[in-house]
Amino acid sequence: MLGKFVEERFVYRQTFVIRSYEIGPDKTATMETLMNLLQETALNHVSSSGLAGNGFGATREMSLRKLIWVVTRIHIQVEKYSSWGDVVEIDTWVDAAGKNGMRRDWIIRDCNTQKIITRATSTWVIMNRETRRLCKIPEQVREEVQPFYLNRLAIAAAAQNHNEKIDKLTDETAGRIRSGLAPRWSDMDANLHVNNVKYIGWILESVPVDVLEHYNLTSMTLEYRRECRQSDLLESLTSMKAKVSEESSNKSRDLLSTHLLRMDDDKAEIIRARSEWQSKQQH
């Protein structure tokens, strides 16, 4: 299960084999598979570091205060999707994100070629497990995690589109709306809220099938706005458009999409997302 520490224990490294149940119709790993592997590596990093409390990825000092980590943003860029049976190597590390956040980055390499095939970055904040309210990082928790901080970016700041606002879709601006999406009990994680990765599947429910079939999802940014419980009913909205490339005079076949996952009843936002798609014919 466990990987190993490298680079003076600042980086945690783990290898995985892509299983038959982790691939999609084109026989390559899905975006959800990649996100699950990133999450697994992150949790094993915490447990292997000796910091783990009794929570799901929480440190000892966090567990004493009934605190948990929650993700506010994930950005992932995929150069190549691995195939069934491929072995991948994942590196992960953490750093501060402002005064009260933590940044976690990852890179995925093809074990055979050692080429980096995926890069990802995420921002995490602390929430009280009982009140479900965000709070500042206690000094005792900061002292636990600070020795592991590594000032290194998996994705250059300029390439992260941090300042690029994700528009909020409405019934009028969405090209497709899929209603009646219901979380199952098995979609819940150990902190009793919907696993972060499950949202991706619901987001993709409103993407046209011909896009899923003929395009590769090469980049995805997820902004998490609120929690979702098992009893909630959800709606998925998507708007697609052609990507205009400034570098090339050729008409690009690439697509951009904007997504919104919201509550079915009061329309409260759960996630805003943005994706980039590359035509499989260009490969």
pLDDT single digits (tens) 113-149: 999 999 999 999 999 999 999 999 999 999 999 999 9
Residue 157: predicted pLDDT: 78
Specify whether 259 is catalytic.
Answer: no
* Catalytic residue (one of 45, 75, 196, 228): 228
**What's the pTM value of the predicted model, to 2 decimals?**
0.93
Specify whether 216 is catalytic.
Answer: no
What would the two tokens of residue 234 be? Answer: 């959800």
* Catalytic residue (one of 111, 191, 195, 214): 191
Q: pLDDT tens digits, residue range 41-56? A: 999 999 999 888 876 7
Residue 195: predicted pLDDT: 87
Q: How far apart are the first and last CA of the chain?
A: 34
Q: Which amino acid is at 225?
A: R
Residue 51: predicted pLDDT: 87
Greatest CA span in the chain, whole angstroms?
A: 58
Q: Which domains does the chain have, with CATH numbers?
A: 4-148 (3.10.129.10), 176-279 (3.10.129.10)
- Cα–Cα dist 211/278, whole Å: 10
Residues of the chain with pLDDT under 50: 249
Q: Which helix (H) or strand (E) holds 43?
A: helix 31-48
Specify whether 193 is catalytic.
Answer: yes
Give CB contacts under 8 A, 24+ apart, made by 251-254.
Answer: 253/278, 253/279, 253/281, 253/282, 254/278, 254/279
- Cβ neighbours of 112 (radius 10 Å): 11
Residue 261: predicted pLDDT: 98
Residue 249: predicted pLDDT: 47
What's phi and psi for 94, nearest 5 deg? -130, 160
